[in-house]
Each structure stands twice: as structure tokens, then as C-alpha cells.
Structure 1
Amino acid sequence: MASRSVAGGHTLPPDPIYLDFERSDGDPTQQPTNTKEVVDKDGQVNYMKPVGPDDSWDINWRSQIARKIAERLGKPPGKKYVLRSWPDGYRLYCHHKGKQSAPRQDLYLMGSIYAKRFRSVPEFVPHAIWLMTDPTLDRQNCECKYCAKVPQRVISENLGYKARSTTLHPTPTPSPGVRMHRIGRDRERQSPRPGPNGYATVRRTPKPKPEKGPTQVMLQERYADLQAMYVDTNTELRRWFRIGELVWCALDPPIHSAEGSITFWPGLVDECTFKAETVPRPKSPSIYSADGEFDVDMEDGTSSVQVVTQQLGDRRSVIKGGVPYPITPHPGSSKSVTTESPLPWIVHQKTVYKVKLLGVNHDYVAIETQVLPYQGYAPSRELLEALENVPIERITSKPEEIATFNPCPAEAETDVVVNGERFAEATAPYTLAIEIASGIATCWTPTDEWEFKMMAVTQSQTRYQGLWLGSERIWTDDLVRLKAARGQIAPQGSAQILAPSGPSKSTIAELGFDEQTDPEVLKSHGARDRGVFMHLEALFVVSDVPDPDGSGVHAECRASGMLYELADEDWDEPQSSSHAAAAAAAAEPLNAQDAWAAAGLSTPTRRRNPDEYPELHVGQPFMSAPSPLKQPPVTSTTLRQVTTPVRDRNRQKARKTTTTKRNDDGPNIQLSHPKMNGVPLPPAPRGFRFRPILPEGFEVVVSLALVSGRYYPRLLAHPLLRPIVRDMQGNANEAATRLDGHHLFALEGILPGFFNASEATRWKPGRSAMVRDAAAERSAAVARSWEVRRQQAREGNAYAAAAAAAVAAVEPIRTDLDPSQGQDVVDVDVDVGMHSMLEEPSEPRIGSIGIDVQPGPPVQDVTVTVFT
């Protein structure tokens, strides 16, 4: 590569106007250390020579950069602007490389913590403008190529430099007719306003413009997670869990006490590996799974005889690059070739998880049968009461003792288990662990953003390949559960949404004669009371969402994709319904209107239970906390139903825009995700199939507040859940009355998502921030709670001692007196035991300890009823 121009001859202009940096992202440790000339044996040099402030090169750079800053800040033209100095921690260097007599020389500005080096004036100008104008130093507001991930050619053209120009000499300013398009974000920050309860609408699926290749590289981590979830497999259990997800690990052995036992410990998945092992071929299956099929451990699982361990990922590694091929459906499991004398062994593949346990400094290596999703378990009432009843003097508050506790030692001492000492030792770390887990589950953030370019040059949108939603890692192309029941979404059908499917002929045949003619009974055995799924096609941010009070607008994170319901596997689709819906959808345009009405969401009038009103908790808008959301490009025209995001949640003044009609059936470049072949749907629960309820070419757009979480295929067959499922099957009526197990059935979509939904409403910049903040907040809260209990115990002991002294001073009771004479008998009954840590002792639950956090906008709930 040819060296850039470093010609000298530049001096300070007369009467310069200096510009000063009031803030900096510089760090002297980012500057090079090889600043001395060293000549090797071949006469070559390779070092960074510092450039002084009085050097011609330094003056040239500072003059050019100051001129562009002055233009952007609207300062009077015709003045001689110069940077007085570089931002703190910055310095200009000249890279000398090659023969000592005539080395190649390149200028670099170094010192930023966000960019290793700036190679030219045009590269640093947008970064300098950001340092000059953004007092928060929010990197998301910077427009340079390293922060905004935008090609330098586009940035240079927007700054007025000639296309493909690499000169360091001043370039003419753009003519008045050239419009400067904004790439970055709005820096105006105002106080947040509460948004609407939730958003949902149906629109035509944007048709991608044919291109020669992908526009965005698919993350390898995302590819591996989707492939593991959706391909056909003969393994016992799928690799449900992903790096960084919050899960429960089954302890072996559990930590027992007389009142309750700690059987699961929360943790974050750190690594996933596949392990294959050979086992003797069983003579006959003897154990059945929860759904009636043989356990895989009792079957011939695979035809492979190789022992392979495949590393799937480590959250500490940085994965770069994409996958060379798209996800395609697995051809399906093939039957093993039977022979007259089968091999005496079979091979099983299992997933092994390395989990970082919360609250302690220990990892736990667990096989797939020892791990449950965080949404699939909650500590029992008995366990929480047992933790509450541990005397406060036996609960340690020393961080080092809490951190060194090992929930799964190699050998547990029998006498410790018997007298409950180990349970007392586990009380502090386990309480802290479940509180940290509860804190993590309240946070969310989109991840892995990529720039989505519109057909018009002025249009762009930030989209995301993934999302952290509470405990779960969600990728685009995942099948996610929505909070609404199927009967709440167009229960009678609409122009864009099909009516819920009814029971199949085989289901009707199993009903009694009277029930077969009862319309309500038939509907209740159809898809009406089941969950709704969305095949997540896109994650993006929409700006200009009106505030409820009409005072301004805010940004909102939304998702789009096809909707599915759970229909009976052998249910026959009426020929007329799909054709009629498609025809009506093609004839009827979609207008912007109330979100629920546009999506056909309604509130059924009939309750599931006369004394029960299930609640669809929408919660706060997902952009209620400050987050870096890109500013929409400045433009006078906007494509209909094409949204452009902003980089903050704060209220803005409403802007007037005009709309232009476009051909809905024509192609545009609004890609729902980085272009690739379609990802197949995961297997449906046994006995059901996924039925799309929107016409082909349409998708639904919903706010993330309506997303419950991930779908876990065949989760009810998990060995740890089989006893629970069998118990519910044996006591079906009682379980239905108590709503026992509804949270498990919701994870498979057999029941609506609101029975088991993520309530993450606190935005965080990343997963590490979620864990760090949750640990800090909940640790402080637990420490304060324990200190209050200790103080109460000390006061109770002091009162008991004083009362005992008073009793000792009382004259002994005369037994010869008649009770009718009125002799007083002192009876001291002092409560010096455990005081409740729970907000509601009658309803112990996780995350019940209050913490000192900043209050957000008031949560608005939407109460809905569900059909029976």
C-alpha cells in the first residue's frame, strides 16, 4: 500500500480562533511504545515517531479538523479555526517503515479507547465532532466508521470530501444544493415518557430485492444455536440452552433439611459440548416418558459408533466471521439398517453444560438431564419457609465464606447432612443466588446490530440479530411464544387473520354424544385456549411512537414475523378459509390505526373460571430506560410502513412527514434479517402441528412487551419434569383448579404464554452489565435485610433478658392463696426467633427483597379474560 501524503510546509494562520476539547475518550495507555528508531541487521526500521504540536503535519491536521468542526457547529465562515490541542490522551504519530534512508511514512492519530488508530483527517472528523458535542460521551452517538460501523466512503461524502479521496489537503466545502444526510443519532435527550401498553399490527411481509449475495454475515453462535434447536435428531434431549442463558442445575446430592431441600441451583451457561458414549444394548424398554413413548436411553438412538466431543462455544471467546452455508432442514432421522445379529452396544450423544453457579465461585458440569430452563422451575413454598426459619446467627454475611461455599462437593459429609448444618451454610449463598437470578431475569437488551439499508440512500434502519430477554438468549429465526391466547387474536377471524382451528375428527370422536353437539365444548378442544407463536423474522426499533399524553414521541423495540397456532395434528384445513383470507387480505389495505384493533386482538367476554381473571401483563414499554437507539436519517419522505429507529428512549418533538404510496406487491430492500434461506420450524408438541394463521406474504409486528419467551420443543419429556407431569395427569382436576403445572405447559405452547412470561423491563447495555448490576443490587439488598434481622434479634434478646430480670425480682408465688384473691402470675412470651425476609409471608416467592433502584414509569396492566 502506498504511503499517504505527509508533505510539510504548514504553519499556524495569523489570528487563529482556537477550539478546545472539554472531554475526551483518550487513554495514554493506548499509544504505541515503539517510539525509538531501531535499525535491524537489514537496515530496516519500523517505529512510531511522535509528532510535536509545532510540527507542520500536526498543525495541518488540527487546522483541517477544526474547519470541519466549525462547519458542523454553525460557526461564522471565513475564520481561521485551529484545534488548540488534541483531546487528552491523544497524540499524532508518523509511522516509519522500510529502509532507514527512505522509509515509508504514514500519519496516525492514536489514543482513543474505541479505535486503535485514525488513519486520516476524514476518519477522525466525525469522532472529533462527537467529542465536542456529546457531554454524555455515549459512543452510540458517534458517527465515525469505528463507532457507527459505516463505510468511510459514505462518511467522507457526507462530510463534503471528494469521493474516494485520500488527500490530506483541504477539500472544498459542498455547494448549497448538496444535502448533508445524517448517519448518526439525535443528541437531544429529554426526560422519558411512559408509552402505550403494547403494540401489534399486521402488515405485508416486505419483499427483499434480489441480490447476488448476503448483505450481512450471520453470527456463527446464532447459526449453531438454531441448528442445534431445529434439526431432526436422535439424541435424547435437544441442546436447549445457549451460552450466557440463565438455567437451573439439579444438585447431586441435594442439600437437605428437615423442612425443605435445595435441589436446584441457578447459574449461567458457560460452555456447551457434545459427548458420545457407548452403552450396552438393552433387552427391552421398560421406562416410559411423560408423553407415553419409550425413553431414549432404552432405544437405539443412533447408528454412529464414534466417540466425538464437539466444542460448541465459550462465552469468553470472540466469534468472528460467518458460516459458509445457510441453515437447511435436516433430511430426517433414518432407520438403522437391521441385521440378523445387531451389535451388542448402542451409541448415545449427550450435551454437557459447564454452568457458572450464581452467588459462589464454583462451576458445575452437568449433563442435559440435569439442567432446566429458568422459566421451568421455581423454589417451593416449603423451601422458602425453610430458608426463612434458619436462625440469623447461623447465616454468614462474610463475602469470602459465601463465595467459597460449594453446592456440589465431591463427597457430602453424612453428619452435616443429618444435623442440618450444611443447609444452614447454604442459606446465605443460595438466597443470594436466587436474588441475583431474579435481578437478571428483569433485564433485556437487543444484540448484534446490523445496518439495514433502504432502497433510497437516505433511508436506513438498525436491526438486530439477537436479544437477551430476561433469562433467555433469543435469535432471529427462533420460534417465540406470545403472551396472548389464540382466542384473543381474531377469535372469529378477520381479513388478515384466520379463525382458530377446531378439534380434529379423532378428538371429536373421543367426546361424549352431548359434547359433540355443543359448540362451546368443541371450541374449547380446538386451538382457542392454546398459545400463539411467532417465527421471529426481524428485531428493530421504531421511532415516532406517540406518547399517551400526546406531548411527543418515543422509540420502541418491536419484532415481526409469521404467526402460528397449535392445531390438532390430524385437523383438516377448510379449503375456503385460507383462500378467502388471502383474497380479503389482497383486496383490503392495511391502515395505521389502533394497535390492537389493527392486529385483530380482542377481549373475549367469557371467563375461563367464574372466580378467576387471568391477567395479560404487558408491563412498561421496552424502551423505558435510556438506551442508545439510532437517530432517523433526515428526510422529507418516508416509505409507507417503513420505520426508522432513533438511538434514545427519550421524548422528542413530533415531526411532520409526508408519505408516498408504494406498490405493496413490488420488491423493496426491506430485509427482515440478514438474507439467507428459511430456517425450518422446530417440532411441535406431540399430537399437534404448527398452523400459520396469516395469509402468505403477511407478517405481524408486535412490541417486545407481548413476547413471553422461547419455545422449548418436547420439554415435558425432560426426565426431571416427568414426575411432575405424571402427577398432574393423575390428579388432572385438582391440578387444573390450582393451576399447577400451567407454567410448564405454557413453555410448549399448549397453554397461553401469559402463564409463563418474561417480565424483563429494564434495559441494560449487555449481558455482562445485567449480571454485574444484578449481583451488586441484590447483594446489597440481601445484606441490608440480614442486618435488619440481626438488629431485631439483638433487640429481642435484650428485651427477653430484661423481662427475665423482672420475673426474678417478683415475689415468689404463694401457692396457699386462693386464685380468687387476685394474685398476678407473670407469663413472659418473647419472640426472639427468625423474622420474615419476605414481603408477603403467606406467599413466599423469588425476588421478594426490596432493592434501592430508580423507579420507572408506572406499570400499566392490560386485564383480559380467556375463553374456556
Structure 2
Amino acid sequence: MSQRKPAQHHTLPANPTYVEFPRTDGNQALWPTHTTKIVDSDGQVNFMLHLGLDSPISIKWRVQVGKAVALDMNMPEGTYVLKDWPPGYRMFDHHKGPERGPRHDVYLFGSPKGKFRSINEFIPHAIWLMHNDAHASCLCKYCSKKTQKEITANLGILASTPGPSSPVPSRGPRLPREKEKEKKPREAFIQREPQYYTSVQRVPKPVQLPQPPGTPKPAMVVERNADLRAVSSKTSMVLRRWFRDGELLWCAIKPIHDPLSGLSITLWPGIVNNFRLHSDVVRKPSPVENEAEPVVPWSVKQSTVYKIQLLAVAHIIDAADHEVLPYQAHVLSAELLDALQTPPATSFNLNRGDLQKFNPYPDGDEVPAFSDAVAPYAMAVEIASTLSSYWSLTDDWHFHYSVKPPKPRPSASSLAHIQGSQPQTLQAALEAAAQHNASTGSSSARLNGGSASTSALASQPQPEKEKEKMTTTAATRSAGGSGDEQVVTQARFQGLWWGTERIWTDELIRLKVPRRCLAPKGAENIYPPSGPGKSAKESWEKRGRDSAELGAGTRSMFMRLDGLFIADIPQPEGGVRKECRASGMLYELADLDWDDPDVQDGDEKVADGQPSSSSKAATPSAASATSRPADRPNGQLSEPGIPFPLPDAPQGYRFRPILTPSHEAVMSLSLISGRYYPRILSHPLLDEIVEQALTNPLESGGLLKSSHLWALEGLSAGYYNSVDPTYYRPDRFKMVEDADKSAHTSLEAHKQRRLELNLKQEVDELEMGAESASAPPQHFAMEVDVH
């Protein structure tokens, strides 16, 4: 612990508003007892000195905690100070070391959870006490068991300290700037690779190594369990709890309208601080007289309320679940982007203090002026765009599994069954697909049709020995196993920050490549794509169209993310480079009424990706859907457990496994497109956009013009709407901090270029005026109207 000397120059602000705690969990019995100064024979001291409310360090805490509490509770603008500590709390200064120059460490005692060492540690606990809700969960590090960096970032404390126009490209809108030098990630131990590694292998067999008595098994993160259950469990809620702490969203605000241009700001980017379940009692219609059984006259309707820290400003708002959208779901119009890029440079105020004072969502009927909103909104959009370029692995653990020595590779195997050309990068594959789209027509099914000549998964062939090293990964081989098997210890992770999104293992994610790019005619351990259902086939053929163009090949691929691990990649010049791999079962979207040839007569069909209890284990739709990877959640990560059920598929479709049972795909993180949002297209904020997309005429692009929307549910290829982060940051706190600093620097440079351009234009106009004044007068013939 670093030494903290008590401040000496903090005073109370003038005319403060005092804030009092309505409740407490404080206990005087928890105060330290060694409060008497005693100098031992070596001249050392070790005692706790009580600091009164008016001591400089106490004043500093009271002012900053009061400010954070007022911000969280949406109090009117003003200066807020804690009137006192919660009853049962007291601050002490720990003196330890030589009597003449002891070490100082300040603590706030009284909480049964532990002593608070800093202002940021105490703020979430103070907020919890201030809300006076005994059923709510405290978010401080001692109650939530999270790291302080995560908590500070999630609470939006960065907003009070200095510190894409379309989802495609995925980083979102950015204002023009000088060509930036390529930045290298500060943390070089994991890099995003330029090649896109893919393979299919058997699911590793977990091994339980002997552990000393009392050694705890690695536990599943609580947030991971709660987030996955929220998406996959059955619920009567109209909108599921899709969003997670720390994710970047668009939050609906009262429209900020510009009467001159007709433009409006309706959504503001923000970060989820936390969320809570909200319940409303709804009265049922009056019961029928002489009802045989008594009827409860009311029901409970539940929804989610998110606390959102709006970017660039110091305001936190509560938003209902129907008022927030995924960052990838909103497209800024070209006109609004232009308005953000070309305001008068002299009025483009980027002072941090002025930006934070702006309130995009004031109380009552008040709406801020559009001209006042341009600078803070441009800053918020720029922060969001920059934040989407960062990624990070979280919650590491060690997985032990057994492997057999590699055998000679058969002549035909695995994922190498790619038809046609073999582009070396994903971009080449996507360009090939785009060229195919442009040459095959304008309907959605035709443009996304599966053509063997353009199907490629951008996987550069690797020598077998190198592949073996890559798939067994950063492994420490140890004694154990049976026969020829060896035990491998692998570094794994429970989740990652992927740009704007929080992704956990065990959840279904979207991949960039369309289904037609993976073994369009089938391959070893890979099933061919499912064809069109009966209704789609009949409808298509009635119009004289070829139904072979339909089927799963036109849609996205999905992965149930069973594993995240580090791979050691041998380098030609020697040594290794560490990269991250994702592994899991692959799925496609099959029509509900498609007859699976691999399902025998009498077997029940699989609906929404969930196998029937009577389905045969040998069928791909049942067996591989329930195959259990190595880190299935049952509270502990090292043993298989019961998998989370797959989320709901889009209406009219079901999830169908692509790989044979007991196999999994292993691929580069670069092929991950982002989270899958079940039924997101029915969100109220998207109603108008979806309606416009469905009625868009073919001559204007038809349904394909909104492919980025359909991609959120996997109805079009993932690369139409993908999160594509580039730079690694160690945690979410660092991502938000760096995004804030980078955005401010970029916009200041943009403003300076605008000022220089305006000055040059003024000089040119003055020079032209001087030339006109010195020129001789010219005479022109005058036309006369004759009546």
C-alpha cells in the first residue's frame, strides 16, 4: 500500500448544501483501539489518530463524496458536502514508523465489510446508504468483490475528473483529422494477428489434477452467471435484460431540435453503471360474477431500469429498457454528422468544465438549444467511437486437459475444404463475397446466395506441426495422464471486453463470415448448410426463382463461445508470439420447416436450438447441441456441468449445429463480429427504422440497404455489422480513460484546423477585395423594359 499523507489545505466551499445519510450500517465496535501514541525503544510509533470532521482530509472526502452522491441522485446543480459520516463511522490516520517522520495511511472505519482506504472506495458504499433501499446491492469493492478499477469506471467517476455514423465500419463516426501514426498497443503480451487462423478439433478432455487439501476450485464470475441467465432464461418481460455493466449504449433523450436545419439529436451515447429490476402492479379486468375460484385482481409487470453515465457530460440518468439500444443498432445520419463536423469553430467550446455542465436531459419540459449541444455531442460521439477500438481479456483461470501426441495428417480433413480461391485475409474474402453479390441480382436471398466460387474462410494453410502448437496453446506440460496422453495446462479466460460490448464464455456470438463461406458442400466433421424450408421454397418457385439460392448459406454463422485461451505461435526468426483463440460449437439459422436429412423419421424436430428429450443422441441437431465443453458453468470452472440453454432464435428459424458431436471450431478473435441480440428488431426504438427498411423499394436498395440491422439477429452476414477492436487495454477503466483523452485531443486538433482554414479564407477574401478596389470601373449596357 502506498503512503498517503493527510492533506493540509482543504477547506469547505462557500455556502454548501449539506447531505445527510438516511441510514447506516456503521458499528462503533469496529473502530481501532490502539489510539494512544506510544514510542517504543527503537523510536517507532504505531497508532491510530482520530481525524475530526473539520480536518483537511475529512473535508476533502466530504466534498468529493457529496459531489458524487448528488450526481448519482440527480440533485439540482449546486455544491454538496456530507454533513457527517454515517452514524458509527469515524476517520483515522494510521501513524507508523519513526516518530519524527512516520508513514500516514488514512482509513474510514465503521463498515462491517471493511475499512475504506480512499474516496473512490467509499463513494459506491455512500451511494448505497443514501438510497435507503435495504434490498439493493452495494457496488463497493468490499460488498461486490470486484476490483476498484472496474467499480470506478462503472460508476462514471471519470466524468468528473480530467482525464460510428454507421455500425459499418464498426468503430462508428469520427470527425476528420490529420493522418494519425499507427499506435502500437501498450500491452504487447497479446496481439491481434493479421492472419485468421481456423481449425476443427475434438473437444479437449478435462483432467482434474491433485490439489493440496483446502485448495479452492476456480469459481465462475457472478456477473457472468447473471448476465447469461438474463439472456437465455424464459421470462414474461417484454424486453430481456440484454445489457451489462460497463457496456456502451445509445440512450433516448428528449429530442434536441435545430429549427434551421431540421436535424434532431434523439440518442446520446452512455455507459451502463448498473441496473435494477423494476416492478409495476397492473390491475386486471373486474372478475366475472359467480366465479368458481377466487381470482387475484392484479398482476406484476417487470422491466429493467439502467443507470447510464452519459459520455462527455457529468450527468447520470435512469433509462427504462425500452429507452436504450445497443451501440451497433443506431446509425447517425450523414446530415447530423456533417453538422457535428462543420460548426463555427469559434463557438465549438471543448473546455472540459463547460462540457460537463451541459445537461442533455434536463428535468421538466426544458430542452437545450441545438447549438449548445453540438460540442458536447461531438465529444460524446468521438469518445464512443474511440472506445469501440479497444479490447481486453478478463477473469483468467487455468484449465487442465489431456492430449495425445499428434498423428500424421490425412489428405482431406477439417476446415480446409474451402471451395474456389483462397484469399489470405478476411478482407479479401469479404471483397470476393461483395463482388459475387454485385453480380447476382438485387434480392436479399440472391445477393446472399451461396456460390462455391467465392466461398472462402480466409484461413492460411499452416504446417501440421505448427498447427498442433497453436491449438494446444500456451501449455505447460506436466506429469500425469495415462498411456501416451500428456496433461496440458492452458491459460483460459471467462470473458472479454470487445469494443463496446461485454462478452462471456458460454454465450452465443455472431461471426463475421456468412454460412456459405464454410464448407458449402460439407466436409469432414462439418455438415453442409441447411436448405430452404417448405414454405420459402414453394413461395420462391411460384415466382419462377431458383430455390437453391435460399437456405442457411445466406445468413450469419454463430459460435457458442466455449473457450478463450492463449496460443503460443512459433515465429520464423525464433521465439513465440502470444495470440488469443476462441473455441466452441458452430451454429447456423435453419428454417423451422426445413427437413433435416440427418434426422430419422420419427425423431422430433429441434425448435429454437433446444433438443427434445426424445431426440436421438446421434443426430447433429441434438447431440452436438448438448455436448459439454470443458468450462461449463456449475459454479466451478474445471468440471463439466449443465450448459446454459441457447437464446431464442429469430422468429421462423432455429439454431442448428454445424459440426459433428464432440468437435469444436478454433479460430482467431478477429472473426468475432459481436454479441447476438435475440429479437432486437422488435425493440420500440427500432420500429420506425425497421418499417422503413421493409418498405424500401428495390431501386433504392431494398432490404439489403439495411443489412446492418438484420445482422444483429444473424439474418445477414456478420461483417455488415461488426465490432472490430484493434488496441489491447488491461481493463475497462483504462479503456474509458484513454478514449476520453484521445477524443479530446482529436477534437482540439480538428478545431484548430478549422480556425486556421477560416483565417486563410478571410485573408484570401481581403486580398480579392483589395484587387477589386484598385481595378478601373467597367461600364455595362443597361437593358430597358419597353411597355
Shorter-chain TM-score: which interval?
Answer: 0.5 to 0.7
1:734-779 C-alpha deviation (Å, 9 max, x unpaired): 4645832211111111111111111101100110111111111111
Cα distance in structure 2, aligned partners of 1:681 and 1:492: 26
Counting only pairs closer than 5 Å after superposition, residues 274-673 of structure 1 correspond to structure 2 as 274-279=277-282, 346-411=299-364, 413=366, 422-454=369-401, 457=478, 459-513=488-542, 515=544, 521-543=546-568, 545-547=569-571, 552-575=575-598, 671=631
- Which amino acid in the other structure matches residue 278 of structure 1? V
Cα distance in structure 2, aligned partners of 1:713 and 1:234: 14
Secondary structure of 1:741's counterpart equals: helix
How many Å apart are 1:808 and its aligned residue? 4.1
From 743, 755, 758, the counterpart of 1:778: 743
Cα distance in structure 1, aligned partners of 2:2 and 2:398: 29
- Which amino acid in the other structure matches residue 525 of structure 1? L
Cα distance in structure 2, aligned partners of 1:191 and 1:229: 33
Q: 1:51 to 1:227 in 2, by over 3 A?
A: farther
CA RMSD of superposed structures (Å): 4.0
Cα distance in structure 1, aligned partners of 2:304 and 2:192: 44
Counting only pairs closer than 5 Å after superposition, residues 8-407 of structure 1 correspond to structure 2 as 27-29=2-4, 195-209=193-207, 215-259=217-261, 260-279=263-282, 346-407=299-360
How many Å apart are 1:513 and its aligned residue? 4.2
- Which amino acid in the other structure matches residue 527 of structure 2? L
1:322-347 C-alpha deviation (Å, 9 max, x unpaired): xxxxxxxxxxxxxxxx9899766553
How many Å apart are 1:525 and its aligned residue? 2.0
CA contact 2:208–2:400 (8 Å) conserved in 1:
no
Cα distance in structure 2, aligned partners of 1:411 and 1:797: 43
Counting only pairs closer than 5 Å after superposition, residues 704-719 of structure 1 correspond to structure 2 as 704-719=669-684
Cα distance in structure 2, aligned partners of 1:279 and 1:502: 45
Secondary structure of 1:512's counterpart equals: helix
CA contact 2:562–2:630 (8 Å) conserved in 1:
no
Cα distance in structure 2, aligned partners of 1:382 and 1:252: 19
Cα distance in structure 1, aligned partners of 2:205 and 2:662: 8
CA contact 2:227–2:244 (8 Å) conserved in 1:
yes
Cα distance in structure 2, aligned partners of 1:372 and 1:403: 23
Cα distance in structure 2, aligned partners of 1:446 and 1:399: 31
Calculate percent identity across the aligned residue pairs: 39
CA contact 2:506–2:562 (8 Å) conserved in 1:
yes
Q: 1:513 to 1:190 in 2, by over 3 A?
A: closer
Q: How many residues align?
A: 501
Match of 1:645 in 2: none
Q: 1:513 to 1:807 in 2, by over 3 A?
A: closer
- Which amino acid in the other structure matches residue 665 of structure 2? V
Cα distance in structure 2, aligned partners of 1:717 and 1:668: 32
How many Å apart are 1:394 and its aligned residue? 2.5
Secondary structure of 1:708's counterpart equals: strand
CA contact 2:192–2:670 (8 Å) conserved in 1:
no
Structure 1 unaligned runs (5+)?
A: 1-25, 32-42, 54-89, 93-112, 114-145, 147-188, 284-337, 417-421, 579-666, 819-868
Q: 1:476 to 1:787 in 2, by over 3 A?
A: same
CA contact 1:206–1:668 (8 Å) conserved in 2:
no
- Which amino acid in the other structure matches residue 588 of structure 2? E
CA contact 2:506–2:560 (8 Å) conserved in 1:
yes
Match of 2:434 in 1: none
CA contact 2:201–2:665 (8 Å) conserved in 1:
yes
How many Å apart are 1:553 and its aligned residue? 2.9
1:367-391 C-alpha deviation (Å, 9 max, x unpaired): 1111010111121111112223422
How many Å apart are 1:801 and its aligned residue? 3.5
Secondary structure of 1:237's counterpart equals: coil
How many Å apart are 1:350 and its aligned residue? 1.3
Secondary structure of 1:498's counterpart equals: coil
1:626-683 C-alpha deviation (Å, 9 max, x unpaired): xxxxxxxxxxxxxxxxxxxxxxxxxxxxxxxxxxxxxxxxx99965671432111101
Q: 1:524 to 1:397 in 2, by over 3 A?
A: same
CA contact 1:204–1:697 (8 Å) conserved in 2:
yes
How many Å apart are 1:258 and its aligned residue? 3.2
Secondary structure of 1:557's counterpart equals: strand
Secondary structure of 2:705's counterpart equals: coil
Q: 1:27 to 1:696 in 2, by over 3 A?
A: same
How many Å apart are 1:191 and its aligned residue? 11
CA contact 1:735–1:741 (8 Å) conserved in 2:
no
1:90-143 C-alpha deviation (Å, 9 max, x unpaired): 999xxxxxxxxxxxxxxxxxxxx9xxxxxxxxxxxxxxxxxxxxxxxxxxxxxx
1:238-291 C-alpha deviation (Å, 9 max, x unpaired): 1110000011011123443433211111110011111111345589xxxxxxxx
Secondary structure of 1:221's counterpart equals: helix
Cα distance in structure 1, aligned partners of 2:296 and 2:327: 40
Secondary structure of 2:239's counterpart equals: coil
How many Å apart are 1:546 and its aligned residue? 3.6
CA contact 2:192–2:579 (8 Å) conserved in 1:
no
How many Å apart are 1:570 and its aligned residue? 2.2
- Which amino acid in the other structure matches residue 312 of structure 2? G
CA contact 1:207–1:668 (8 Å) conserved in 2:
no
How many Å apart are 1:399 and its aligned residue? 2.0
- Which amino acid in the other structure matches residue 595 of structure 2? D
CA contact 1:206–1:672 (8 Å) conserved in 2:
no
Secondary structure of 2:307's counterpart equals: strand
1:165-213 C-alpha deviation (Å, 9 max, x unpaired): xxxxxxxxxxxxxxxxxxxxxxxx9999984511111111123347999
Structure 2 unaligned runs (5+)?
A: 7-32, 44-95, 99-117, 119-146, 148-186, 403-476, 480-487, 602-626
CA contact 2:584–2:664 (8 Å) conserved in 1:
yes
Secondary structure of 1:528's counterpart equals: helix
Match of 1:686 in 2: 651
Q: 1:207 to 1:523 in 2, by over 3 A?
A: farther
Asked if 1:756 is matched to 2:721, the reply is yes
Secondary structure of 1:798's counterpart equals: helix
Q: 1:746 to 1:46 in 2, by over 3 A?
A: farther
- Which amino acid in the other structure matches residue 398 of structure 1? N
Cα distance in structure 2, aligned partners of 1:798 and 1:221: 60
